[in-house]
C-alpha cells in the first residue's frame, strides 16, 4: 500500500482546511532560514537542466486523490482543486502541453496501481518516496518540503530558541513517529512524553499536561488557528526540515521508463521556482506561510 507523505485523517480539521486557507503563526526561527512567508527555494538558480523534448508525447494524464487538502480536494461545486491542481496547470503551461494535460481523481490507495497499469502517467498527491516505489517509478525533484513544528501552550511562556527554552521541559510526541525520532536527534535535552495519537497529543498541550508538542508542520498550524484549540497555544520556533526524518518532500511520481516525463517536470518546476510562479501558488493556499 502506498504511503502518504503526511497523515491527513482528522475529519473535522480538514473540512476546515478545505474551506479556509489562513492561519496564525508565531515569528519563526527557522532551521533553514528563508524570507518570511515565502517557499524555500529547492532549485539552484545556477543549475542548467537538460532541455525537455515532449514532441512525441500525445498527452500527460495526472492522477491525484481528493483527500489531501489543501493540496488536492473537491470544492463546494464538486470540482477538483488545490495546490497540486494549480501546480499541474502551471507545469503543463510551461511545457506548452496545456491542451494535452488531463487530471483525474481516484482514491489514494488506488493511485499506485492505476499509474502502474497505464491508467495514468503521473501521480501528484503526496506520495511518499520509498525504495520500493523507486524500483518501479521515477520521481521529480521535490517542489515543496513539509516541516516539523513545535506548538506550545501560552502559559508555558517560552522564550528563546527551542534548544534552550524547552530543555528539560515536557514535550509531547506521537509514539513511534518520525517526529519522535527527529526530536530525539535534534533536541536530546527535551523530556519527550509519548502519546498514542494526535487527539491525545493535542489535548495534552491544551490542558498543560505538557508544555509543548512536536509534530506535523502542516497539521499543527491549522489546529492552532481553529476552534478546537480554543486559543490555548501558539506555534513556537522552527520550522524544522530533515530529509532523513521527514522524507524527500512533495514530488511528482511518474511511470516513465523512457525518462522523458520526469526531466520535463524537473525543468518546468525549476522554471516555476525561478520565475516566482511556484511561490505564487504557495501563497495562494498558505498566505501566511508554513515556514
Q: At 211, which CATH number?
A: 3.40.190.10
CA atoms lying within 13 Å on the CB side of residue 216:
18
Residue whose C-alpha is closest to residue 195's, from 224, 162, 227, 172: 172
Q: What percentage of the chain's residues is helix, strand, coil (to nearest 5)?
A: 35, 20, 45
15 neighbors 221 (Cβ within 8 angstroms): no
- The burial class, CB within 10 Å (0-12 / 13-18 / 19+), for 119 is middle
CA distance 210 to 199: 14
Can you give the pLDDT at residue 24?
30
Say yes or no to pLDDT of 64 above 50.
Answer: yes
81-109 tens-digit pLDDT: 999 999 999 999 999 999 999 999 999 99
* Res. 25 pLDDT band, cuts 50 70 90: very low
Say yes or no to pLDDT of 121 above 50.
Answer: yes
On whether residue 7 sits in a domain, the answer given is no
Can you give the pLDDT at residue 60?
97
Same structural domain, 201 and 139: no
On whether residue 25 sits in a domain, the answer given is no
Same structural domain, 116 and 253: yes
Can you give the pLDDT at residue 7?
39
Question: What DSSP letter does each residue of 157-200 carry, written as one string?
Answer: ---S-HHHHTTTSEEEEETT-HHHHHHHHH-TTSEEEEESSHHH
Say yes or no to pLDDT of 191 above 50.
Answer: yes
Can you give the pLDDT at residue 44?
81
216 neighbors 6 (Cβ within 8 angstroms): yes
On whether residue 162 sits in a domain, the answer given is yes
Domains identified in the chain, total number: 2
Same structural domain, 159 and 139: no
Average pLDDT of the chain to the nearest whole number: 86
On whether residue 125 sits in a domain, the answer given is yes
**Farthest-apart Cα atoms in the chain, separation:** 62
Say yes or no to pLDDT of 19 above 80.
Answer: no
Same structural domain, 179 and 217: yes
146 neighbors 242 (Cβ within 8 angstroms): no
267-287 tens-digit pLDDT: 999 999 999 999 999 999 887
Residue 230's domain spans which residues? 148-240
On whether residue 76 sits in a domain, the answer given is yes
Q: Which residues of 171-197 are buried (b: 16+ CB within 10 A; e: fewer)?
A: bbbbeebbbbebbeebbeebebbebee
Percent of the chain with pLDDT over 70: 87
Can you give the pLDDT at residue 87?
98
Amino acid at each position: 500500500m502506498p504511503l502518504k507523505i503526511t497523515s491527513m485523517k482528522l475529519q473535522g480539521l480538514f473540512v476546515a482546511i478545505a474551506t479556509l486557507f489562513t492561519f496564525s503563526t508565531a515569528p519563526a526561527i527557522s532551521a533553514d532560514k528563508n524570507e518570511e512567508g515565502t517557499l524555500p527555494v529547492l532549485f539552484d538558480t545556477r543549475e542548467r537542466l537538460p532541455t525537455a523534448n515532449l514532441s512525441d508525447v500525445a498527452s500527460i494524464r495526472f492522477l491525484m486523490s481528493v483527500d489531501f487538502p489543501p493540496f488536492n480536494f473537491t470544492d463546494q461545486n464538486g470540482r477538483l482543486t488545490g495546490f497540486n491542481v494549480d501546480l499541474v496547470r502551471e507545469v503543463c503551461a510551461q511545457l506548452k502541453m496545456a491542451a494535452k494535460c488531463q487530471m483525474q481523481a481516484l482514491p489514494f490507495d488506488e493511485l499506485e496501481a492505476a499509474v502502474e497499469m497505464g491508467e495514468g502517467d503521473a501521480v501528484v498527491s503526496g506520495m511518499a518516496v520509498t525504495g520500493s516505489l523507486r524500483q518501479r517509478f521515477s520521481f521529480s525533484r521535490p517542489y515543496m518540503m513539509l516541516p516539523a513544528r513545535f506548538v506550545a501552550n501560552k502559559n508555558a511562556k517560552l522564550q528563546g530558541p527551542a534548544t534552550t527554552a524547552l530543555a528539560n521541559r515536557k514535550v509531547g510526541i506521537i509514539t513511534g513517529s518520525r517526529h519522535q525520532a527527529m526530536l530525539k536527534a535534534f533536541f536530546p535535552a527535551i523530556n519527550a512524553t509519548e502519546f498514542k495519537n494526535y487527539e491525545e497529543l493535542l489535548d495534552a498541550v491544551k490542558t498543560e499536561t505538557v508544555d509543548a508538542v512536536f509534530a506535523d508542520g502542516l497539521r499543527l498550524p491549522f489546529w492552532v488557528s481553529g476552534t478546537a484549540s480554543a486559543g490555548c497555544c501558539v506555534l513556537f520556533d522552527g520550522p524544522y526540515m530533515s530529509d532523513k526524518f521527514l522524507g524527500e518532500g512533495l514530488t511528482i511520481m511518474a511511470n516513465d521508463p523512457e525518462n522523458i516525463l520526469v526531466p520535463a517536470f524537473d525543468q518546468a518546476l525549476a522554471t516555476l521556482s525561478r520565475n516566482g510562479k511556484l511561490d505564487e501558488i504557495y501563497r495562494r493556499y498558505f498566505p501566511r506561510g508554513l515556514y
